[in-house]
A and B are shown apart, each in its own frame.
Chain A
Amino acid sequence: MSGKSVALKSSACRALAAAEPGLWRRYALAFGFLLPALFLLGIWIVYPTVRTIVRSFFSDSGGRFVWFDNYKQLFTSDILRTAIKNNAIWVAVVPALVTAIGLIFAVLTERVSWSLAFKTAVFMPLAVSAFAAGITWRLVYLKDPDQGALNAGIRVAKDAVSVPGVLSEASPSTPALSRNGGGLVLRPSSRPGQVVRLGLTGIPPEGVPRGAVQAVTPVPKPGAIDGVVWRDFKPGGGQPGQVEQGELGLPGVTVQLEQNGKRVASSTTESDGRFAFADLKPGSYRVGIGAKTFAQPFAGISWLGASLITPAVIIAYIWIWAGFAMVVIAAGLSAIPRDVLEAARTDGGTEWQVFRRVTVPLLAPVLSVVFITMVINVLKVFDIVIAVAPESVQSNSNVLALALWRTAFSGSAQFGVGSAIAVFIFVLVIPILLLNIRRFKRDA
């Protein structure tokens, strides 16, 4: 029975009433079935909604009637515009992904005997409160590889490939020693017979290589360039560039000698930091330390930074909701009569063809349910964003429901603007619903 016949029926109602007392009985019956639901929905949802729509046309404190001012703020405020943009990304990406993943899981687990264990594993995130799930993923995403699981995993891979240098934290202590590429080079060129000093700071006491002893300034020797690489720091700072009592040499550092841009020699420092390039022809040379010594260890990808935060939250969200899609679709799968599938298989189709031509169309209503539910959930997404995104990127990851809560409930009590946001969310979903309702009616 579609709405088309409504008009016909209502006009003929009275005429029929006398002829069919059963019709009124059916009304009363339907009414009886619907009454509890309509009562609850009317008071708990419809009434507050109407109140809120009305409220959205008033000022934040409720006193003045401000027409569409609140809506104007919605579209001009930076924060709210970001929220709208983010919701668009969520709607475009998440429902499709969740439904697809749920479908794949539901189909695959059908053939596996230990499907219950797998289903439990995938479903468990739903049983965890959104707040706890958010905290869990925030811990996974922490930038410091010592704390965030994801970056810890990446570090293991990365450091295996590019080993961090011996002195990755060091900086030069004097301007004469300047950065060159990834390494350091002493700017003024050196000549044989000179002593060069390469002082480094920023090295914590435990960062000094083993076996280091008090640094010693070497004596100049003719035809050689001698030098010392040492930790140019003592408590209080000391004098930069001067080897002082209490400052340790840095052993095991590879020092390079260049002439005219080409490397001519390299030497390794001893336990007191001294190194020497002997038997040198007269000329000007450059002394430096290669980039490998200063290779930075993996510092961690900033998953919780402004650019990656929305994808990061989306991943956490999919982790939670894929289980929902899987369970619902699995229920739908189990409701498909076995004989239909058997018939298709015996008709000579491959698994993939059976899946595509028979299973998926039969699952269409279930898939729609999941997809639409996810679209609506995603428009209302709230807890996961507030829990995963640190405060510094809250505005980058902002979504409408969160913006609503912040404006109305987070202390500033801007009920006018908050109500406008709520109405906007409401308006966004209606077309989607209508489209799919129409599709239902055509299928049914």
Chain B
Amino acid sequence: MTTRRIAPWILLPAVALAAVVAGCGGGGGAGKGATAKAQNVSGSVSVMGIWVGEEQKSFQAVIDDFRSRFPGVKVTYTPAGNNLPTVLTTAVQGGSPPDVAVPAQPGLVNSFVRQHKLKPLDFARRTTLANFGRAIVDLGTVDGSFYSLVYKADNKSTVFYNVQAYQDAGVTPASDWDAFLADAQTIKASGLPAYSIPGGEGWPLTDLFENIYLRTAGPAKYDALSRHGIAWTDPSVKRALGEMAKVLDDPRNIAGGTSGALQTDFPTAVGNVLATNPKAAQIIEGDFVPGVVTSPIKPVTGYGEFTFPSIDRSPPVVVGAGNLVIAFRDTPAIRAFVNYLTTPRAAEVWIKRGGFVSANKKVPSSSYLDSILRKAAQDVTEAQTFRFDMSDEQPVGFGGTPGQGEWKIFQDFLRNPKNINGTTRALESAAVKAYKGS
């Protein structure tokens, strides 16, 4: 009798307690999937990237925007400049990598995947597919799992020119390779070297090669060469080098001549073109060109940009580069941050500050500050064929190290553009060594 009277009293709080516990358990599982309520996610995310100075401020603005939506997540960003691959490799080796990193080399990402250091980003795959398209997703997929997404994109199939120099020479941006080469002769006759070549650094020369190769050999061979599926002594490579030699072989048409070009670093080469008294008419490099110098001339009126010309009627293609988001750990906070980076908003915050091109198709082109950036972005998002910078996809010792591998061999090619056979042989033996080691 007494028990029966007590039982309901006990049951009530018990049921209430059970309900609360069930509620808590349900809330704790909210981290999984995109249905999480923003307020519930908490934790911290450490991020490492290459951006410093102005670009660091822009990325910080992106972080601040993220935090306004996810106030429970603390994000700390540590810059590493150009040395991110080294710093990251060391950190990974030492066992304490950051939570998230944004390197620029797929080759580096691949080596991390092979060492089983990365956590897959499959939770973001659907959004990435919807916002960026198949090409970007495929780029980040290794062995069926999605590991990296392109947050910031660079269009490397662009040519920047000095408007006054073009006017003096009476030429207009060429859409065809033969016209482009002929224009270079005209510019030379007008009394100004046509090309500013940053031969002091190896990577711009690899970019020129890749732009030519993708157009002369096609995407399939480009992919094969990236994986070392075909040798560097293949005739398609020789053909591309032959076209490249047409740009490099006239020292009088290069600012500073061949020996000067070999000492010219990238910002100086840009400064040669983006100047009131230019030393050369154009520089063949990506959309980040205006960002590396304090230019005394303005976009559109002072300097212009056009798409890398097609060769033998090749279809529009884009050689690009970018910053890839990768994650070394998997927590709700990290997932929230990575998901945020796939949204158009994450790109727009930076775009409004300038110097940013996004591969995200959902970003309205009106966000871009000038027509040059708008066009560069358009080329990237609309590209039917988008290929990542080949040298960034290679093992770093071959495609990404100053003084050796591709970078050095192409500098030797600049020194002697007649030596096509020797160059292909050197490239092949360096590639063999690099791929064997990995």
Contacts and interface: CB of A to CB of B under 8 A. Distances in A.
Contacts of A304: 263
Nearest to A405: B86
Contact of A391 (B189, B259, B403, B434): B403
Interface string B167-187: 111110000000000000110
Nearest to B257: A299
B interface secondary structure, majority: helix
A439 to B, nearest CB: 39
Contacts of B252: 171, 202
Interface stretch (B118-126, B195-203, B339-347): B195-203
B256 A144 contact: yes
A169, A173, A232, A413 — most chain B CB neighbours (10 Å): A413
Contact of B192 (A204, A407, A413): A204
A236 interface: yes
Interface in A262-307: 299-300, 302, 304-305
Contact of B85 (A143, A395, A411): A411
A235 B402 contact: no
B169 A235 contact: yes
Given A202-B188, A236-B171, A410 B86 contact: yes
Contacts of A398: 403
A205 B168 contact: yes
B191 A392 contact: no
Contacts of A202: 188-189, 191, 252
B430 to A, nearest CB: 10
Contacts of A173: 189
B189 A412 contact: no
A395 B191 contact: no
B335 interface: no
A140 interface: no
Interface string B79-91: 0000001100110
A105 interface: no
B249 to A, nearest CB: 16
Given A395-B408, A412-B397, A390 B189 contact: no
Nearest to A393: B262
A337 B9 CA distance: 103
A169 B396 CA distance: 42
A392 B262 contact: yes
A interface secondary structure, majority: loop
Contacts of B400: 411
Nearest to A232: B189
Interface string B291-316: 00000000000000000000000000
A149 interface: no
Interface in A388-406: 390-395, 398, 406
Contacts of A302: 259-260, 263
Contacts of B262: 305, 390, 392-393
B13 interface: no
B407 interface: yes
A327 interface: no
A235 B90 CA distance: 55
Interface string A127-147: 000000000000000111000
A394 B256 contact: no
B397 A391 contact: no
A413 B189 contact: no
A300 B395 CA distance: 38
Given A60-B437, A237-B189, A413 B171 contact: no
B109 interface: no
B40 interface: no
A410 B200 CA distance: 18
Nearest to B396: A411
B55 interface: no
Contacts of A409: 86, 89-90
A300 B263 CA distance: 12
B260 A414 contact: no
A207 interface: yes
B190, B199, B201, B396 — most chain A CB neighbours (10 Å): B190
A411 B89 contact: yes
Contacts of A391: 200-202, 402-403, 407-408, 411
Nearest to B114: A61
Given A202-B252, A390-B200, A392-B262, A413 B191 contact: no
A236 B182 CA distance: 10
Contact of A79 (B93, B108, B404): B404
B56 interface: no
Interface in A117-133: none
B265 interface: yes
A366 interface: no
B189 A414 contact: no
A207 B189 CA distance: 13
B27 to A, nearest CB: 44
Contacts of A205: 168, 190-191
Contacts of B186: 236-237
Given A412-B395, A413-B89, A414-B437, A169 B403 contact: no
A406 B404 contact: yes
Contacts of B378: none
Contacts of B260: 143-144, 300, 302
A310 to B, nearest CB: 14
A73 to B, nearest CB: 9
A305 B199 CA distance: 12
Contacts of B189: 171, 173, 201-202, 232-233, 237
Contacts of B171: 235-236
Given A143-B259, A391-B202, A411 B167 contact: no
B170 A411 contact: no
Interface in B405-431: 407-408, 411, 414-415
A144, A169, A395, A410 — most chain B CB neighbours (10 Å): A410
A203 interface: yes
B263 A414 contact: no
A234 interface: yes
Interface in A304-363: 304-305
A102 B324 CA distance: 52
A202 B265 CA distance: 25
B190 to A, nearest CB: 6
B401 interface: yes
B401 A410 contact: yes
A407 B85 CA distance: 13
A84 to B, nearest CB: 16
B404 A392 contact: no
B191 A201 contact: yes
A201 B193 CA distance: 12
B200 A305 contact: no
B197 to A, nearest CB: 11
14 contacts: A143-B260, A173-B189, A201-B188, A235-B170, A236-B186, A237-B186, A305-B263, A391-B408, A392-B199, A392-B200, A392-B408, A392-B411, A395-B404, A412-B401
Across the A-B interface, the 8 shortest Cβ-Cβ residue pairs: A235-B170, A412-B397, A204-B191, A394-B403, A236-B170, A411-B396, A201-B189, A392-B262
Interface of A: 60, 79, 142-144, 169, 171, 173, 201-205, 207, 232-237, 299-300, 302, 304-305, 390-395, 398, 406-407, 409-414
Given A201-B191, A305-B259, 11 more contacts: A143-B263, A202-B188, A203-B191, A302-B263, A391-B201, A391-B411, A392-B202, A409-B90, A411-B85, A411-B86, A413-B93
